[in-house]
Chains A and B, each alone.
Chain A
Amino acid sequence: MTSTTIDSPRTPAGSAKRRGVNWEKWGWVYMRVSGVVLLVLIFGHLFVNLMVGEGVKAIDFAFVGGKWSDPFWKVWDTLMLWLAMIHGGNGMRTIVNDYARTPVLRKVLKGAILASVVVLIVLGTLVVFTFDPCPAVSADQAHLLPSFCPAP
């Protein structure tokens, strides 16, 4: 005999649809963990860029190129990018949940946030890992290269 199963009394409310990952919970945890890590990453970043050595005057194309030739700073900057973008995106999502009144507006705004987060993360990661200050160029474009590049 087939029949629909009736839940036993006091079955947790909505347990059927809520089974699986509790995204709200992990979102909440993520905000706290990433916040602490970002505190170190961002202030470390600011300290190294603005205060160490010559300070802010040292920042130019060569400085950035130099940093991104070091795997340590590649990992540092990528981590900062991912953690900060998702942290910010999730924060914006929270604000939309609070203030967007209609379901359509909610969907549109959350979609826009997701799209911008994804685009910025992909572009940023691409730049960090493929950045080459001295790309191979044809001779007539060699003058466009920064001065520290070895002559072709």
Chain B
Amino acid sequence: MSTATLDAAPSDADAIESFTVTLIIRRFDPDVDDEPRWQDFDVEMFATDRILDALHKIKWEQDGSLTFRRSCAHGICGSDAMRINGRNRLACKTLIKDLDISKPIYVEAIKGLPLEKDLIVDMEPFFASYREVQPFLQARTMPGAGKERVQSVVDRARFDDTTKCILCAACTSSCPVFWTDGQYFGPAAIVNAHRFIFDSRDDEAKVRLDILGGKDGVWRCRTTFNCTEACPRGIQVTQAIAEVKSALMRGTA
């Protein structure tokens, strides 16, 4: 057996301390509920467990109807962004030890996108604005035959931060401007536009700047830094938005 836990009953001396953690989860079943409701669950957790483990424990042992998205469970697929104790986090990157477990932990779906069931929201509006900024390389020149497009280390570093985005929607769904009417592109779309606007191999920065310079573009950003704080990848989102603004001011990337 490769897993060392659970099989051999550990002696009391070296037993790892576990805690009873109360999770209060905002449930919503569209077939039954008119309004979302809060439901609490007690789970036995270790300090090194994650909120995702707690959700699994609930789903596997207590209530199989609990619905949430997760895929890789290691903070890279961006499926399990949720609002944990009022902050947008990835459930798979939030450790029990980092939360105050003397109080219940509140878990709910991210805000600003249509709630579908329990912790699942409709991500389509989010991806629609992502698609709108043309997040793909558009080069007018061809690399030499058999060659790749060469980019200097400095040119690559220019947009390094925004390549880290995993499209989890934690930033966009933490943005108060996005909450209000959903017309705003949202931080994630701007981050992904930034990634190509400042890419030396890309030639269509002007097109993306035109898109983002419009009525629902970057000028609606109120620099509240919610997005930077929410980003599980540590992207300086507000700074990226400000860089797009100043590119618009200069008229060129």
A-side residues, CB < 8 A to B, are 10, 12-15, 18, 22, 24-25, 27-29, 94, 97-99, 101
Given contacts A24-B219, A28-B219, A98-B177, contact A18 B204 (CB under 8 A): no
Q: CA A94 – CA B183 in complex, angstroms?
A: 13
Q: What is the distance, in angstroms, from B191's C-beta to the closest C-beta of chain A?
A: 19
Q: CA A12 – CA B207 in complex, angstroms?
A: 5
Beyond the given A10-B204, A29-B249, could you list 10 further A-B residue pairs with CB under 8 A, ordered by the A residue number? A12-B206, A12-B207, A13-B210, A13-B211, A14-B210, A24-B213, A27-B219, A94-B220, A98-B180, A101-B181
Check B214 for interface membership: any CB of A closer than 8 A. yes
Our pick among B207, B211, B249 for the contact of A25 (Cβ within 8 Å) is B249
Can you list 21 A-B contacts (CB < 8 A)? A10-B204, A10-B207, A12-B210, A13-B207, A14-B214, A24-B213, A24-B215, A24-B217, A24-B219, A25-B219, A25-B249, A28-B219, A28-B245, A29-B249, A94-B220, A97-B181, A97-B220, A98-B177, A98-B180, A98-B181, A101-B181
- Give residues 200-229 of B contacting A (CB, 8 Å): 204, 206-207, 210-211, 213-215, 217, 219-220
Q: CA A12 – CA B211 in complex, angstroms?
A: 8
Contact A22 B180 (CB under 8 A): no
Binary interface encoding of chain B residues 179-210 relative to chain A, with 1 for a CB under 8 A from any of its CBs, else 0? 01100000000000000000000001011001
List chain A residues, Cβ under 8 A from B215. Answer: 24
Q: Give 6 nearest A-B pairs by CB, closest first.
A: A98-B180, A24-B219, A12-B210, A28-B219, A12-B207, A13-B211
List chain B residues, Cβ under 8 A from A101. Answer: 181
Who on chain B is nearest to A13 by CB?
A: B211
Contact A10 B138 (CB under 8 A): yes
Q: What is the distance, in angstroms, from A112's C-beta to the closest C-beta of chain B?
A: 19
List chain A residues, Cβ under 8 A from B211. Answer: 12-14
Q: CA A101 – CA B206 in complex, angstroms?
A: 32
Binary interface encoding of chain B residues 54-92 relative to chain A, with 1 for a CB under 8 A from any of its CBs, else 0? 000000000000000000000000000000000000000
**In terms of DSSP, what is the predominant structure of the interface of chain B?**
helix
Binary interface encoding of chain B residues 212-253 relative to chain A, with 1 for a CB under 8 A from any of its CBs, else 0? 011101011000000000000000000000000100110000
Q: What is the distance, in angstroms, from A145's C-beta to the closest C-beta of chain B?
A: 51
Who on chain B is nearest to A15 by CB?
A: B210
Contact A99 B207 (CB under 8 A): no
Q: What is the distance, in angstroms, from A93's C-beta to the closest C-beta of chain B?
A: 12
Q: CA A99 – CA B206 in complex, angstroms?
A: 31
Contact B219 A99 (CB under 8 A): no
Q: What is the distance, in angstroms, from B28's C-beta to the closest C-beta of chain A?
A: 22
Contact A18 B219 (CB under 8 A): no
Q: CA A10 – CA B206 in complex, angstroms?
A: 10
Q: CA A126 – CA B204 in complex, angstroms?
A: 50
Q: CA A77 – CA B180 in complex, angstroms?
A: 36
Contact B214 A18 (CB under 8 A): yes
List chain A residues, Cβ under 8 A from B249. Answer: 25, 29
Q: What is the distance, in angstroms, from A20's C-beta to the closest C-beta of chain B?
A: 12
Q: What is the distance, in angstroms, from B107's C-beta to the closest C-beta of chain A?
A: 28
Q: What is the distance, in angstroms, from A116's C-beta to the closest C-beta of chain B?
A: 23
Contact B181 A24 (CB under 8 A): no
Q: What is the distance, in angstroms, from A135's C-beta to the closest C-beta of chain B?
A: 47
Who on chain A is nearest to B209 by CB?
A: A12
Q: What is the distance, in angstroms, from A105's C-beta to the closest C-beta of chain B?
A: 12
Contact B210 A18 (CB under 8 A): yes
